[in-house]
Amino acid sequence: MDLRTEIPRRDIERLHTKALEFSSAARSLVLSIITAGFEVKRKPDNSFVTSADLRVEEHLRGLIQLHFPDHGVIGEEYPATNPQAAYQWIMDPIDGTEDFVQHLPTFGSILALHYRGEPLVGVIDHPLLDMRVHAAFGLGAYYNGRHLKLTDIDASAIDGSERLMLPARANFIKHRDDGHLFDALNRAHPNHRIFRSCFSHVCAVIGAADAAVDYGNPVWDFAASRILIEEAGGKFIVVRAWDAPGFGRVYGSVFGKPLLVDRLKTLFD
């Protein structure tokens, strides 16, 4: 039994509405920070972190604490709170911080709500592109307010011309040497695009790409993606999961049009 079916529809609708309100507040804050300027530092792993990452996560945590004090929160920049709670808000305030630092508009904000480990609500917002996808369990998926419904790819169209979104090869070798997987994906699906942010996820959700692969990332990087793609009529599969020393649990996932997702999965078997 899917545990999410025990939640009344009106409650899911309310949580979905609140997630959109929180996402809008995050967008406004991000845009104001871009105008005012921000500080840039490096984390111990040499990745970027900015004052925007910290301020947006702080703001979202404050909103969640105000409206749902008994819920838990998992975020990239601060320790988890209420880890025992059935409802867990999971966020990446600025996904693609390197893009943000370099003034590329493909960065985004990710916000999801999981119930007992299952995704219930998901939002990915790209402030500078004015793109937002959102979904909730049983309510469908939407792109800037328009209902989304993916059409599966035809098997005959998987001939190298299918559109695949990949992360950089660096994702496959950051925590362990899985570069051979990137090479296999590159050979089998040469018509790919490379992005290291949730922009690739959004492309799969709205059908601008036929599928996407993510690899070597923690839960907040894809926390919204499963509910988004499934409510749009696609398929989401975790193909790898392992503990990276000094980093925590990381995952590899494939999602998009079901037939292509199944084909991509075989490269990880």
Return the SS3 of 50. strand
CATH architecture assignment, domain 155-265: 3-Layer(aba) Sandwich (3.40)
Supply the pLDDT for residue 122. Answer: 98
246 pLDDT more than 90: no
Rounded-to-integer distance, Cα 109 and Cα 107, Å:
7
46 falls in which pLDDT band (50, 70, 90)?
confident
pLDDT at 96: 96
HSE-up of 209 (CA within 13 Å, CB side)? Answer: 26
Average pLDDT over the chain, rounded to whole? 97
Interhelix angle 51-67/9-36, rounded to 10 degrees, is 150
Residue 12 pLDDT > 90: yes
Confidence check: pLDDT of 261 > 90: yes
Q: What tens digit of pLDDT does each residue of 126-166 get?
A: 999 999 999 999 999 999 999 999 999 999 999 999 999 99
Q: Give residue 1's pLDDT band: very low, low, confident or very high (50, 70, 90).
A: confident
Of the CA atoms within 13 Å of residue 215, those in its CB half-sphere come to: 26
Tell me which residue of 225, 214, 219 sits closest to 123, measured CA to CA.
225
Cα 98 to chain centroid, rounded: 16
Task: Provide the residue ranges of all domains of the chain, joining segments of one domain with +.
Answer: 3-148, 155-265
Which residue matches tokens 């999981």?
A: 114
Fold held by 3-148? Fructose-1,6-Bisphosphatase; Chain A, domain 1 (3.30.540)
Residue 80 DSSP one-character state? -
The model's pLDDT over 202-240, given as tens digits with 9 standing for 90+, comes to 999 999 999 999 999 999 999 999 999 999 999 999 999
What is the distance between the alpha carbons of residues 119 and 257, in angstroms, rounded to a whole number?
Answer: 19
